[in-house]
Amino acid sequence: MTFDYDLFVIGGGSGGVRAGRVAAQTGAKVALAEEFRMGGTCVIRGCVPKKLMVFASHFAHANDDASAYGWDISVGDFSWSAFTTKLHAELDRLEGVYGRILANNDVETFHQRATVKDPHTVVLADGQEFSAKHILVATGGHPVVPDIPGKELAITSNDIFWLPELPKSILIVGGGYIASEFAGILNGLGVAVTQVYRGEQILRGFDDEAREIIAAGMRERGVDLHVCQNVKELRKMDDGIEAVLEDGTATTYGQVMYATGRRPNTGGMGLEAAGVQLDHGGAVVVDKYSQTAVPSIFAIGDVTNRVNLTPVAIREGMAFVDTVFNGTPTPVDHALIPSAVFTQPEFGTVGLTEAEAAAQEPIEVYSTSFKPMNHAFAGREDRVLMKLVVSKANRTVLGAHIVADGAGEMIQMVGIAVKMGATKEDFDRTVAVHPTMAEELVTMKAPVRST
């Protein structure tokens, strides 16, 4: 059978674009459809604009810190309009880069929604139908607001970059990394931030000791953080949005932002009718090669709800091309993936948490928390955490957790060692770089806990 394309990619995010480009470089005829903007969540409404906002928010402490170091300077007011004008120009530039990457590799693009008609047919919103030997679903996910009275009054992380002006106050609902990151960002930009989370501590799933230090640091910097709380109802008021909590207390805010979860973008795509299996949350079920129950249809990235990180989606896209177009079946390795959470203080982590490791085998914990030199000199109360979780049996470092300025940069390097199976003694043999915060990772000699 002759097909219009060897590969039709649905979704123009980082994973889909990478897979389409690399597949085309093998000589395959490739098409890609994106219904919103090329670049996907990460580039347009996620990692990139968020990280730029993190950078902007860090200047809030510049005046105080500079004064402590002997500088006589004054930081003026933050201009949201000046920042967002430049931000959107940068996002436009990046979107253009993605489009040119595809064009330069002869990938035909369609700027409209695409759905699946059958195992080898894609239908565009304008009614065009194309046949494809292989279909790759890379449609990502979207934030959701729980079904409570007044839910339409809330915004999500998708909306935050498009606000005409910053609110004077905001309630952020949720305790995951998105909620906690934006709490720090908006607090740094001068917004009065309240964060509520229904659980006992924010950042569920991460290391407990790190979670405690991050929460304390957020409160120290001015975030009004409340746990074991949830919103029951939102009401429109003349001066803002009133949030009624489950304990009956009610407070009015300029904005209410929900960051309580995301769902895969699989609705109305025709996947199940074509034979693709979805799980209870709507995620595409795939095997270790990203193949669905339909042999010709594959899926990568957040739409599969495996590890929802941009570099993982890219890696999955590369493995897909190796498997399907290079004749080298390549399973995706989801073990020991380093990640950073751009809370304030920042968090970097790789491997098992202390609780996960202790449930698996006997361990030793090497941990230290202290005021770093730069913060202590400036009179700040911020604390750093350096932590290694070590197997008693073979001395392998099972997990590393860092709370510190630049933790994301540090964990990338630490992640290499952990991925290679480094032992605690390998860390100990490494000469410390002094004076740095990270030197503590190679100078902790005695465990603080043992199980």
Q: Is 430 helix (H, G, I), strand (E, B) or coil?
A: coil
List 61, 88, 280, 434, catalytic entry: 434
Q: Classify residue 393 by its DSSP letter.
A: T
Nearest to 228 by CA among 209, 251, 202, 250: 202
DSSP element (H, E) containing 358: helix 354-360
Q: State the burial class of residue 226 (Cβ atoms within 10 Å of its Cβ: 0-12, 13-18, 19+).
A: middle
| Strands of the 240-245 sheet, one edge to the other | 231-237, 240-245, 250-253
Nearest to 315 by CA among 10, 6, 22: 22
Query: What are the Cα distances from residue 446, in Å, to 367, 390, 430, 442?
Result: 9, 12, 16, 11
Kind of pairing between the strands at 121-124 and 129-137: antiparallel
Question: Contact at 8 Å (CB) between 357 and 326?
Answer: no
Tell me the C-alpha distance between 344 and 341, whole Å. Answer: 9
Q: Which amino acid belongs to residue 160?
A: I
> What is the per-residue DSSP string for 268-283?
TS-TTTTT--B-TTSP
- Is 434 part of the annotated catalytic residue set? yes
Q: Which amino acid belongs to residue 180?
A: S
Q: At what angle do helices 208-220 and 177-188 cross, to 10 degrees?
A: 20
> Which residues have CB under 8 Å from 369's CB, separation 6+?
213, 383, 384, 385, 386
Please give the positions annotated as active site.
Answer: 434
